[in-house]
Amino acid sequence: MCETVVMQAVLGETTDPAEQLNILETSLIGDAQVIVDIYSRFLFEREVFERREKSELSADDLCDAMRRAQLATYGDALDERYLHPYMWTWKPHYYRSELSFYNFPYAFGLLFGTGLYAIYQQRGEAFVPDYVDLLASTGEGPAAELAARFGIDIRDRKFWSDSLAVIGEKIDRYCAL
């Protein structure tokens, strides 16, 4: 939430459209990297684990899985000529069993923090004490139980949809500029 609040504050301090574009672009590049690219990595890892239960995988198999994962996440936003089927060779966490699904915390953190910002937008300043208490309570229990103590249901799809809607608002603002 903090990063989103800071970005909104900086946006509010400038009326220069070029500066606003720069701020929004920087933020959206990070958001897209975490949401799209990390989802691609998740799909790749999941397929590898599922297929590895049945057989060995060759380098070609891994490249095919990477291509499928990239196509599934990037869609027509990326020219197929520029897919990176060997991306799996660049990520050392794929080769350490204790780091399976290594990227999940990044995606969870971005969307959870942005979801908290969406709640702040709805509840206003009244949410700040709960937000501070939530941060102070981090680590005291599973995320869903901790959030529930503050009236937040992260098991509800709406929480995550509201989070993505905040990013959608940034995209709309960027396009409008």
Q: What is the pLDDT of residues 2-48, one digit of tens each?
A: 677 777 778 878 889 999 999 999 999 999 989 998 899 999 999 99
d(CA 25, CA 126): 30
Q: Read off the DSSP letter of residue 126.
A: G
- Among 133, 135, 130, smallest CA distance to 113 is for 135
Instruction: Write down the mean pLDDT value for the chain.
Output: 91
Ramachandran quadrant class, 120 (left: phi over 0; alpha: psi -120 to 50; beta: rest):
alpha
**Mean pLDDT across the stretch 100-106?**
85
Largest CA distance in the chain: 58
Ramachandran quadrant class, 54 (left: phi over 0; alpha: psi -120 to 50; beta: rest):
alpha
Query: Side chain identity at 120, as an amino acid letter?
Result: Y
d(CA 78, CA 30): 17
**Mean pLDDT across the stretch 78-88?**
91
CATH topology of domain 2-176: Neurolysin; domain 3 (1.10.1370)
pLDDT of residue 4: 72
pLDDT of residue 1: 59
